[in-house]
Amino acid sequence: MTDIETRHQGRRAPTVVERRERRRPRPARPGEAWTYVLNGTTQRVNVSIIVPARNEAANLAGLFESLPPAYEVIVVDGNSVDGTVERAVELMPDVRIVRQQGKGKGNAMREGLFAATGDVSVFIDADGSNVPPEVERFVLALVNGADLAKGSRFLERGGSADITGIRRLGNAAIRTFVNRLYGTRFTDLAYGFNAIWTRHRDVLAFDCDGFEIETLIHVRAARMGLIIEEVPSFENQRTVGNTNLHAVRDGIRIAALLTREITDGFLNGSVRNSAR
């Protein structure tokens, strides 16, 4: 039995990527695929890194300097007025710019995902809170058999220098509720550092516009029976500027989202133990 079969047999809950990181690739230059050799088979993966950004010009240099080379980097610009687009092009001439047609982080992620041409799509924040080299952990989790690789600040080797007490409590409440409903063992349900196989974009839909997208991805993947792998991740404080996240407002939106998903699940018969 392979490692992948052991980790996902018997509808087990998400686990942690701890193996084979010594095999992670380092492409020579942007535009190349990442090459993995697993169980004697070579797999080439084109990685799209999607960066939702609204007035993040001051934070892009640190982000771009730390990103691993990828097949493409897509900046989804939410009508910035601080020169975010110009700064992105200056720093990375081959960056792809998507001008957001709607509003909100969820909408930006959806537009970036449907613009992506890589096999894998990785979502990373533009504000410096995520650790760019961790992208490789997420891609490795997918190559090892996951459909969705989700970041967790509450696993060993994870952590946060930014989360507040009220956000931590809200996360715990949502996590407990979802785990009981779906039979999962999520440790973090409101974190935006995630990666999926791009082919799943139609299944997951991403049909919400705000920060509640970070919960929707995980809940809907569980409902659909996708294989979910948690990846330890450290959250830094935003480098420059103020966050658009509002704990109470976005908590209410998450509650409304869960109500909708539960209702849809019962109507469609898809509320079940879907973690593997």
The pTM score is 0.80
Tens place of pLDDT per residue across the chain (276 aa): 333 222 332 233 333 333 344 344 444 356 788 999 878 888 899 999 999 999 999 999 999 999 999 999 999 999 999 999 999 999 999 999 999 999 999 999 999 999 999 999 999 999 999 999 999 999 999 999 999 999 999 999 999 997 878 878 888 888 888 898 888 999 998 888 999 999 999 988 888 887 788 888 888 898 888 999 999 999 998 877 665 555 556 667 766 777 777 666 644 655 443 443
- CATH architecture observed for domain 3-268: Alpha-Beta Complex (3.90)
Domain chopping of the chain, boundaries = 3-268
Q: What one-character-per-residue DSSP string does the chain give? A: --HHHHHHGGGPPP-B--S-GGG----SSTTPPEEEEETTEEEEE-EEEEEEESS-GGGHHHHHHHSPP-SEEEEEE-S-SSSHHHHHHHH-TT-EEEE-SS-SHHHHHHHHHHH--SSEEEE--SSS-S-GGGHHHHHHHHHTT-SEEEEETTSTT-EESS--HHHHHHHHHHHHHHHHHH----S-SS---EEEEGGGHHHH-----STTHHHHHHHHHHHTT--EEEEE-EEPPPSSS-----HHHHHHHHHHHHHHHHHHHHHHT--S----
